[in-house]
Amino acid sequence: MFDDLSKTLATGFGVGNVPVAPGTFGTLWGCVLFFLLRQNSQMWFQIFSLAFAVFAIVVAHLAEKAYKKKDCQQIIIDEIAGVLFCYSFVTYSTFNLVLGFLFFRLFDVAKIFPANWAQDKLKGGLGVVGDDLVAGIQAGVLLYALPFIIKWTGWGTSFLK
């Protein structure tokens, strides 16, 4: 019973079973959550994201045992938790929704240190989710800093010419 429940939750209610790019579909689940929860305060969203990350670690740990495979491709709850971390740096806007998705996918695929370390060294659910949380933080910092970078470099005004 717990195996089926953990698989259902870990796959985002089956979304992780898509044959192509399940991680991208998991990230889209996180985008949907960000959209649905957009009316809440940023602090509330940050607390929710942290609680979801703990939940994801537990679920991923159980699902990894059920699948009998380390970081099984069908487990996408880690992408959901990671992109939620990315979005916890910013308030909701369509701009943040789209760029957060793109930045998170970039950092999740690239596995820039310490994400690669987390993926290789951490075990169980923490190992499954840890690299995505790091990628989410990396993407979130970039998403948060982007308006300042645009203003500082003058890119925004050059695009308008």
Report residue 14 as tokens: 């089956």
Give the pLDDT of residue 152: 84
Q: Write out pLDDT tens, residues 108-136.
A: 999 999 999 999 999 999 999 999 999 99
Distance CA 21, CA 115 (A): 19
Question: Peptide bond preceding 19: is omega within 30 degrees of 0, i.e. cis?
Answer: no
pTM for the whole structure: 0.92
Q: Domain spans of the chain?
A: 2-10+21-160
Q: Give the H or E element holding residue 139.
A: helix 124-153
DSSP state of 12: T
